[in-house]
Structure 1
């Protein structure tokens, strides 16, 4: 069922899910509104792949699950379905309504920033992610220079920020007890001067 409010057509979650299953392109669900996702640059995709590779190799055999941009995250408090670039689950994955395509419990999320997504990644998305009790660590990763901003939950509604801005640095991931070298995150990425 579609409902129109103020010029926008709102779609039920079930209708959105059905459309996503057959769509060639991904869209986010924002409390009834379907928003198409844009494609990424060569650098964007390379950085996301580097993150997944580093995490997957380092966490092999441990009780963590690493997923990339095709894993949909459902945020019930805000009725949002989004596709984080990288997410890590500690322990068993919890699925929304037993759907294998919607996860509920990431402990770590990484977003590679782009001009079209940066404001949302820093703003609304971060606020929505904070409503997930298991969520402990958020990484905002630049594709334009070597820079990772790390937000770590230190209390209720309290986050600390650490910035890594040198390829010689190592990102300390407390949520999963892991270190990742900036050189590995940006391997194969050439920045414009």
Structure 2
């Protein structure tokens, strides 16, 4: 979630990386400019946490590993903090960024949606290792999946759908991504499911 630019002159990558180690606020870095990260809502954290949990359970004991929002993705002279990423290399314990993610997930909010769908998308797809990019709506229940093998053509998934992530051989339900989230789409879907269950029991 990139927010306002911090008002200061251009800094080097090394200065940025060293500064992040001691900063109470996370910043994203684009060609010498740094941008402070805004805070995330409970819904945002639930969605990202649900996805990370599904990835972690599935990948336990396997070469690929998921990372949460504290791991940076490096693309050239840019550094972003994806909400969740999966890396299939053996990162060192003291590494704070990866330039070889296999999957990147961004949870969208009204303030970040445009950046995630344009600036970050156009940057992320330059990563040779990246196979799948997930854009997950926060205020509605919709997941957009873009895959390298389909030339980044968008596929949309909704409650009741199942997503297959080929790069890590994982099947995940959209409903599990939105577990405990209470936006309008989820509440209406849960009500419909409850009614259907009641009808079947009668």
Alignment of 1:1-193 (within 5 A): 9-76=9-76, 79-93=77-91, 100-154=95-149, 158-165=151-158, 167-192=159-184
Alpha-carbon distance, 1:153 to partner: 0.7
Distance 2:146 2:132 in 1: 6
Alpha-carbon distance, 1:99 to partner: 6.2
> Normalized against structure 1, the TM-score is what?
0.87
Alpha-carbon distance, 1:32 to partner: 0.4
Distance 1:121 1:14 in 2: 25
Matched residue SS, 2:153: strand
Distance 1:88 1:142 in 2: 19
Could you say which structure has the higher strand fraction?
1
Once the two structures are superposed, what CA deviation does each residue of 1:74-119 show, in whole Å capped at 9, x if it has no partner?
A: 111xx101100000112434x7xx9611111001001000111111
Once the two structures are superposed, what CA deviation does each residue of 1:40-59 show, in whole Å capped at 9, x if it has no partner?
A: 11100110000000110011
Could you say which structure has the higher helix fraction?
2
- Per the alignment, residue 4 of structure 1 pairs with none
> Normalized against structure 2, the TM-score is what?
0.84
Distance 2:51 2:148 in 1: 21
Structure 1 residue ranges without an equivalent (≥5): 1-6
Distance 2:154 2:118 in 1: 15
Alpha-carbon distance, 1:192 to partner: 3.5
Once the two structures are superposed, what CA deviation does each residue of 1:113-165 show, in whole Å capped at 9, x if it has no partner?
A: 0111111110011111111100010000001111000001126xx22221002
Are 2:82 and 2:106, in contact at CA under 8 Å, matched by a contact in 1?
Answer: yes
